[in-house]
Amino acid sequence: MKLVYPARFYKEKEGGYSVEVPDLRGCITQADTLEEAIEMAEDAALGWILTAIEDDEELPVASKIEDIKLQNKNEFVSLLLLDIDKYTEKYGNRKSVKKTLTIPTWLNHRAEKIGVNFSKTLQEALLNKIIKYQRK
């Protein structure tokens, strides 16, 4: 699953960039180049979100990019595309819980025929459901 959050980039007087993700309280980072700043911002935001998910906290709704106010000419706003699934595979809690479920036989046969990973599919569906529920 992917989420999009706006980030405010500040060009520092001494060089480099600072980045703040306003919707994720305290999510701030910095880097020497713009490319590094984008990567650092994505990593910081993904870490923030993963921690919130693992702590069973609600994720904040992302602001619209046009609602992020700039404070001076050395700033700009851009969107971060955050791939939660990829980040969770790499850094998430490895502890698993075994669940038993029931699905129709025809659905099982078709899914097995095309090589569906049942665990990954269920995880993605549950995370999507949780996020949609929290945003109501």
Q: Quick one: CATH architecture of 2-92?
A: 2-Layer Sandwich (3.30)
Tell me the pLDDT tens digit for each residue of 45-94.
Answer: 999 998 998 888 889 999 999 999 998 889 999 999 999 888 887 877 65
Distances, alpha carbon 54 to alpha carbons 11, 42, 48, 91, in Å? 33, 18, 10, 11
Q: Residue for token digits 């025929």?
A: 113
Q: How many CA atoms lie within 13 A of 29 on its CB side?
A: 22
Tell me the pLDDT tens digit for each residue of 19-32.
Answer: 999 999 999 999 99
pTM of the model: 0.69
In angstroms, the CA 40 to CA 44 distance is 6
Q: Residue for token digits 């911002």?
A: 41
Task: Give the start-to-end residue ranges of the domains of the chain.
Answer: 2-92, 96-136
In angstroms, the CA 70 to CA 24 distance is 17
